[in-house]
Chains A and B, each alone.
Chain A
């Protein structure tokens, strides 16, 4: 009981400290508004404004129409170039795609042959290359088929393939990116807030003051956990409602309270990480250097940037122990796919287990570090 009271009073003090740190507040507000908006709208995985050129050796009515089928926003207006310039133009990086239409193209098609179109793709731009290449084929096939349909109505595929994208029918990147953005900011901010709270207390000498009082390391740490978690939860809720739902119009398919329960479990891990980093770094500057590393790793490896399934198998075994990976996973299930507890319990369990283990470890480290501070 006294312990709970201590944690409560100390936590209130934490909240006061955070609210008087103007720079930190601005950082929190920016991270949950501007940063998420920028990340959601500035994302680059869609094919957008792609540069394309046509080397047209046929120069027929059809081949000219093909070039006209490409327009903004997906593609820039195709530039005509000579077949001999293809290599150089691509070496210079002027075009991502160069379509080469062979001589006699239209005539060959009319004769029932399947002439070759050469599609040169700059494969150093992975994300756009595959998708963009697919678009180009679809657009060209579509245009050829409609060109000949005027004279011959058998010019369409004999099976009608309908592709339906579940959960995000129009493939809006901002839906996905905004939630990944929130997830990344939750990790970053929780770690920064909690770690900074530990270091601030040590640099200002107030930690010593607490230590001579009848308080335990557990109480000091727990106060930081609940107070900073509170700040993050409120910021997350506001950001989710105003930025993600209102401004970016991303839908929330599943249960909001289920997702927040998951966030709560995750915060346990994130605050523990903050205490851990705040404890092992000797100064704010070292802490900042460490944060950069840890954050980059957590973000890149957790499946928010590129899918976990694409990682090498041995790496997937390692990232299995990253709570952030399960956080991303259950967030996607709940938010996009509308999954319930039956769909996400394995992730919840994993986040709790790793979070708890890490919390106990960090607490032990924190207690030990306190004992030897000079």
Chain B
């Protein structure tokens, strides 16, 4: 909906608010993301948006960034309505947006340098600017030592730093960061915030909006927006909010801000002490090591955990926590070392060990398509708990975990907190002595988290269950009896949390953790940091980029996408293989596999006459060995049928008694040819062969049967045009490139765009000034090149492997191919605009392209024999024209003037496809 832009009136607000949101509602299907939200965000500050997962933080940020289409309400950003395309285009160079998810908008195949360089190109920086700016940013973020490392191989913290570099490369006035530190280790987290702080001091006018689930982080910021269920709970400075609620930290403050019904039953957790005295050892691991190739995932980890202990396992994503847990449960055999559970050695894959373990994986890993009850019952069955016992156990758990009202709801429909409780219920269903929980509370709101911990404490203290739990939350770690800190595959320290803090003389566990990590890395970052920051500030002032003309900017953005796509394909072995090996392989299969030549038909004779005449007649068939291969004589009618049934013969020639006598008498004897008609095409062809053998015989004066050549018959001169030997390979091989050159380029093109939608890097298109055609054509160019290379491979194969000559002009065919490949990738482009998953893109493209290509474009059935709708589809389908050109050049040696209509049609389709794709491609997420 077009809202008139009123820059003048908004300019006044601008000083106060960098973004104003008025009555914004956003729905995802039936669920409400944002619920009539209104908010003014002050400019020039560090603003935190806090709340658990799923309350609408990400939606709000994406709307402010202009990455998501506004459904209802109004969002004013930097003095203009962000719903207006013109305002977006003008302001997007002033906004930087980093979406949620570690490295969500990065290209994992590309290196650090290439990722940042790509963003810089999209914002139109010149080569010189890019070089210096990227060098500054990489140095400031400490990424300088690894500019060539692929982004996919970086740790979570480093990925976020690369993302930040990409966001800052064009010097924005508004920086929007969506959960930038989730899943990042405390040290990297601290470095990250220090970096942001430094950048802000270099650009004091810059506004920063950040969402986070870590309340302790947000406590340091200027201004807080607390959100719940798509609404704003409260806004203000952290100090003001805490004062209002009378709390001492932001987490308790947030709980206090929650509406009454969500808080009920929430009390501050108290953890009863563990009974002292020597207890049985539950887990005893010695020198556990796991290597994947050269990579050491877990490096000599030794642990001893007692029965009934709650043992916390801390560390960043990818530090080896999950791998350690898998070795402890016997899911993964250790490369070195050993583990014992309750005194029994863990054999990899041992069933007995597993009966003692309850395991809750990181992501929700129950069946979303089953109900709560079905999930519980399935597990009871798989653990072979007798039905009546299972029933009471399930009842007991349902009551204790508060799942009663949701028994018949689908697990996928439950809110996060409930899902985690269900997962826990399933994990303890069979009464295990050891529980292994992998980040059970990530994404769960603080109240639900506390409820969850109550259950854990009960299990540990009252039922003696040993609990092994990983977490990112320091306040949860504080609740554990002992914790271990893990980094890069090594356990740095393991002890009671308080003792760890004391040992380092730190104020908080987080500080202690950071201390241990810095020791492990063996460097202090503070010194280097200040020097780099000075550089950064200097660089910021200097780089005021040059004005470039519109067209050259467009071209450079287009090329940025081309370069980006090319590098991605070159580094993705699966797609690369699909593009090149695929076409060659399919060419072989099509070329050798589809052949309509019917030769060496196995036949048998059933000669009831046994005269000179009958034998002479049958000899005619034996005399055509290319077509007929004689088998043993048939003895009876039953014999004939059973041999036909088991496909040993396909033709029986039956000569009746008295055949010779009838010939001599001049009466017309009958001959019966029984043909296997199961395969209709083959049967028909065999029937024709039989007929033509007889026809030829009757015309031949020396046929040996003693009948005169038949009167009144014409002599047929067959002229097999374009394929004189009438072998199917000459007709088939030239028709294969048109099929393969539509199927493969269209699929690859569609996947390349849909892949960006699915993986999230499409955001870069939404929030940069890139135009639709720049994006589309930029991505298309590499696939046109792939198509052309495929074409050369296919032509070479046709000439060398299949010995099919090229009679016409190779140059003309190449020109046709160039246009054709542009058209077929264009079709993939159109399909990509309305498919949203890669799987759908592959299947839809295959069905849409293959059907008209095989049926209506003259592959098997000539276009001239089509009628009605089929003819219409054929006449607008590009393969029809390229098929004509390919067959024409290969077999007919056609001249340029006969190819002109094909060229014209293909050339005219290109702008049509571009227009359709550009119109259908959305510049914002829906």
* Chain A interface residues (CB < 8 Å from chain B): 2, 5-6, 9-10, 13, 16-17, 20-21, 42, 44-46, 48-51, 76, 90-96, 105, 109, 112, 114-131, 133-134, 137-138, 140-141, 144-145, 147-148, 152, 154-169, 171-173, 175-176, 204-206, 208-209, 211-216, 282-289, 292-293, 296-297, 300-301, 305-307, 309-312, 315, 329, 332-333, 336-340, 342-344, 371-372, 374
Contacts and interface: CB of A to CB of B under 8 A. Distances in A.
A329 B367 contact: no
B238 interface: no
A120 B721 contact: yes
Contacts of B722: 122-124
Contact of B362 (A161, A166, A168, A205): A205
A248 to B, nearest CB: 13
A152 B713 CA distance: 13
A166 B679 contact: no
9 contacts: A129-B720, A160-B671, A163-B687, A214-B352, A216-B349, A293-B582, A300-B593, A310-B596, A337-B645
B578 A289 contact: yes
A211 B382 CA distance: 11
B669 A160 contact: yes
Contacts of A152: 711-712
Contacts of B884: 93
A332 B647 contact: yes
Contact of A343 (B646, B699, B711, B720): B646
Given A13-B370, A158-B698, A288-B838, A91 B894 contact: yes
Given A123-B721, A300-B590, A285 B673 contact: no
A136 B589 CA distance: 33
Given A93-B888, A164-B673, A206-B367, 11 more contacts: A116-B714, A122-B862, A123-B724, A133-B718, A159-B698, A164-B672, A293-B582, A297-B589, A315-B593, A338-B645, A340-B645
Given A116-B714, A122-B722, A311 B595 contact: yes
B333 interface: yes
Contacts of B898: 91-92
A286 B574 contact: yes
A173 B718 CA distance: 27
Contacts of B599: 309-310
A306 B359 CA distance: 53
Contacts of B865: 48-51, 76, 96, 128
B351 interface: yes
Contacts of A342: 642, 646
A262 to B, nearest CB: 14
B331 interface: yes
B688 interface: yes
B695 A168 contact: no
B867 interface: yes
B339 to A, nearest CB: 15
B367 to A, nearest CB: 6
A115 B714 contact: yes
A284 B707 CA distance: 70
Interface stretch (B12-20, B38-46, B194-202, B373-381): B373-381
Interface residues of B, number: 137
Given A159-B694, A205-B364, A2 B589 contact: no
Among B645, B676, B688, max chain A CB count under 10 A is at: B645
Contacts of A292: 747, 842, 846
B518 interface: no
Given A159-B694, A205-B363, A293-B585, A339 B646 contact: yes
Contacts of A287: 839
Q: Which 5 A-B pairs rank lowest in CB-CB distance, beginning with the nearest?
A: A165-B677, A285-B838, A123-B723, A134-B688, A343-B646
Contacts of B663: 158-159
A160 B842 CA distance: 56
Contacts of B674: 164, 166
Interface in B822-842: 837-839, 842
Interface in B557-577: 574-575
Contact of A42 (B362, B367, B578, B855): B855
Contacts of B351: 214-216
B598 to A, nearest CB: 6
B582 A2 contact: no
Contact of A124 (B365, B578, B687, B887): B887
A94 B864 contact: yes
A19 to B, nearest CB: 9
A138 B691 contact: yes
A134 B598 contact: no
A155 B714 CA distance: 12
Given A158-B710, A164-B672, A301-B589, A284 B666 contact: no
Nearest to A284: B839
Nearest to A112: B711
A95 B726 contact: no
B679 A159 contact: no
B670 A374 contact: no
Interface of B: 292, 322-323, 329, 331-333, 348-349, 351-352, 354-355, 357, 359, 361-370, 374, 378-379, 381-384, 436, 574-575, 578, 582, 585-586, 589-590, 592-600, 617, 642, 644-647, 663, 666, 668-685, 687-688, 690-692, 694-695, 698-699, 707-724, 726, 728, 730-732, 734-735, 747, 751, 755, 758, 837-839, 842-843, 846, 855, 858, 860-867, 884, 887-888, 891-892, 894, 898
B359 A209 contact: yes
B594 A109 contact: no
Contacts of B747: 289, 292
Nearest to B359: A212
Contacts of A204: 363, 365, 367-368
B855 A371 contact: no
Nearest to A2: B384
Contact of A44 (B379, B590, B724, B861): B861
Contacts of A148: 711-712
Contact of A300 (B594, B666, B866): B594
A175 B680 contact: yes
B723 A167 contact: no
Contact of B684 (A147, A171, A284): A171
A172 to B, nearest CB: 7
B666 A158 contact: yes
Given A137-B716, A144-B714, A167 B676 contact: yes
A108 to B, nearest CB: 9
Nearest to B893: A91
A165 B597 contact: no
Contacts of A128: 861-862, 865
A127 B860 CA distance: 7
A152 B681 CA distance: 37
A214 B600 contact: no
A124 B731 contact: yes
A292 to B, nearest CB: 6
B688 A130 contact: yes
Contact of A372 (B329, B332, B369, B617): B332
A171 B842 contact: no
B595 A306 contact: yes
A226 to B, nearest CB: 16
Nearest to A219: B382
Contacts of A158: 663, 666, 668, 698, 707-708, 710
Nearest to A304: B679
Contacts of A214: 351-352, 354-355, 382-383
Nearest to B652: A166
A116 B717 contact: yes
Contacts of B683: 165, 168, 171
A309 B678 contact: no
Contact of A161 (B600, B694, B711, B712): B694
B711 A154 contact: yes
A48 B718 CA distance: 20
Nearest to B895: A91
Contacts of B646: 333, 337, 339, 342-344
Contacts of B734: 124
